[in-house]
């Protein structure tokens, strides 16, 4: 299971990266499985019904590190929204525009996660997924952000084989141009929670000072003042995730939710 510091980091960054958590023999198998394509499942299929016992996706999701992170983020038995094998062809000549994966999503107390699995070593030339840390709570519509070519502090994924990244559904991302001679695979699964996302992780370190420090992270693409909005939105999400309506950073939420009802004598 994730701990509170890791969850706070996910709330601030919008992603959680786990390097080389899938063993080498499964990565080798994945290159064949993904090359053949993974049959789709209907939207909203419960996880336990989506992938047959022993199938590759099932074994991937049963790996303890993967299962623990997934359960911490969305709880037991989420639904599969959809999955897809993403292929970036050698020397394909173009990148994907920066985008979020769906329409504007105004949920403040729930989120989907997307698992991204990379079965090969991904080099810079292979066009690993671009993402913009801390962009997930800036609600945008699909590829509204597509004209942004590069943002300060963006991340271009370079990773060892067997890396799994969990994304908050709102994170701005896009496949980069593959300038190598190698086909680059990524398997993505989107999960919808079916339970309230409250204290689903190991909360024994909830009072750790590093929790607030993580939630207060700023990123280079924020201008000084606009970054306040992200911190405000993180506080709202952290309140929903913990049930602690008194949590705040520098009074941001307390200030704008102050509506005294007392009538003066």
Q: Closest approach of Cβ 95 to ligand AKG, in Å?
A: 9
Per the CB < 8 A criterion, the answer to whether 114 and 166 are in contact is yes
Q: Residues in contact with ligand AKG, total (CB under 6 A)? A: 9
Q: Which CB, 83 or 88, lies closer to ligand AKG?
A: 88
Q: Closest approach of Cβ 130 to ligand AKG, in Å?
A: 8
Binding mask 176-205 for ligand AKG (x = CB under 6 A): ----------x-x-----------------
Q: Which CB, 101 or 248, lies closer to ligand AKG?
A: 101
C-alpha span between 170 and 9 (Å, rounded): 15
Six token digits for residue 64: 């303890």
Q: Which residue is nearest to ligand AKG (CB)?
A: 175
Round to the nearest angstrom and report the end-to-end CA distance of the chain.
Answer: 52
Q: Which CB, 88 or 168, lies closer to ligand AKG?
A: 88
Q: What count of Cα atoms within 13 Å lies in the side-chain half-sphere of residue 243?
A: 6
C-alpha span between 1 and 205 (Å, rounded): 12
The order of strands in the sheet holding 113-118 is 15-18, 163-168, 113-118, 184-192, 79-88, 45-46
170 lies in the site for ligand AKG, by CB under 6 A:
no
Q: Closest approach of Cβ 186 to ligand AKG, in Å?
A: 5
Q: Which CB, 144 or 208, lies closer to ligand AKG?
A: 144
14 lies in the site for ligand AKG, by CB under 6 A:
no
CA angle 181-162-54, nearest 5°? 115
Please state the φ and ψ torsions of residue 157, each to the nearest 5 degrees.
Answer: -65, 125
Q: Closest approach of Cβ 196 to ligand AKG, in Å?
A: 27
Q: Which CB, 88 or 231, lies closer to ligand AKG?
A: 88
Q: Which CB, 167 or 253, lies closer to ligand AKG?
A: 167
Helix 227-242 to helix 4-13 angle, to the nearest 10 degrees? Answer: 140
86 lies in the site for ligand AKG, by CB under 6 A:
yes
CA dihedral sign of residues 131, 133, 137, 139:
negative
101 lies in the site for ligand AKG, by CB under 6 A:
yes
Q: Closest approach of Cβ 190 to ligand AKG, in Å?
A: 10
113 lies in the site for ligand AKG, by CB under 6 A:
no
173 lies in the site for ligand AKG, by CB under 6 A:
yes
88 lies in the site for ligand AKG, by CB under 6 A:
yes
Strand partners, 16: 166
- Going by the DSSP 8-state scheme, the letter that residue 54 receives in this structure is T
Six token digits for residue 84: 């897809």
Interface residues toward ligand AKG, by CB under 6 A: 86, 88, 96, 101, 129, 173, 175, 186, 188
């Amino acid at each position: 299971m994730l701990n509170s510091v890791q969850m706070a980091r996910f709330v601030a960054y919008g992603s959680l990266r786990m390097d080389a958590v899938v063993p080498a023999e499964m990565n080798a198998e994945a290159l064949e499985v993904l090359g053949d394509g993974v049959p789709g499942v209907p939207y909203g299929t419960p996880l336990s019904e989506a992938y047959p016992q022993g199938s590759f996706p099932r074994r991937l999701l049963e790996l303890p590190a993967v299962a623990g992170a997934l359960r911490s983020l969305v709880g037991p038995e989420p639904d599969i929204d959809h999955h897809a094998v993403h292929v970036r062809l050698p020397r394909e000549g173009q990148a994907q525009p920066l985008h979020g994966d769906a329409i504007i999503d105004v949920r403040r107390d729930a989120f989907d996660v997307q698992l991204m699995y990379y079965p090969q070593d991904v080099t810079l030339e292979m066009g690993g997924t671009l993402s913009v840390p801390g962009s997930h709570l800036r609600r945008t519509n699909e590829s509204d952000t597509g004209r942004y070519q590069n943002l300060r502090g963006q991340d271009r994924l370079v990773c060892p084989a067997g890396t799994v990244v969990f994304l908050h559904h709102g994170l701005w991302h896009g496949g980069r141009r593959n300038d190598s001679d190698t086909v680059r695979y990524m398997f993505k699964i989107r999960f919808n929670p079916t339970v309230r996302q409250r204290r689903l992780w190991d909360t024994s370190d909830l009072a750790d000072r590093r929790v607030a420090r993580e939630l207060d992270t700023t990123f280079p693409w924020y201008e000084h003042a606009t970054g306040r909005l992200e911190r405000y939105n993180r506080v709202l999400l952290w309140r929903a995730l913990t049930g602690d309506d008194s949590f705040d950073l520098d009074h941001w939420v307390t200030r704008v939710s102050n509506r005294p009802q007392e009538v003066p004598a």
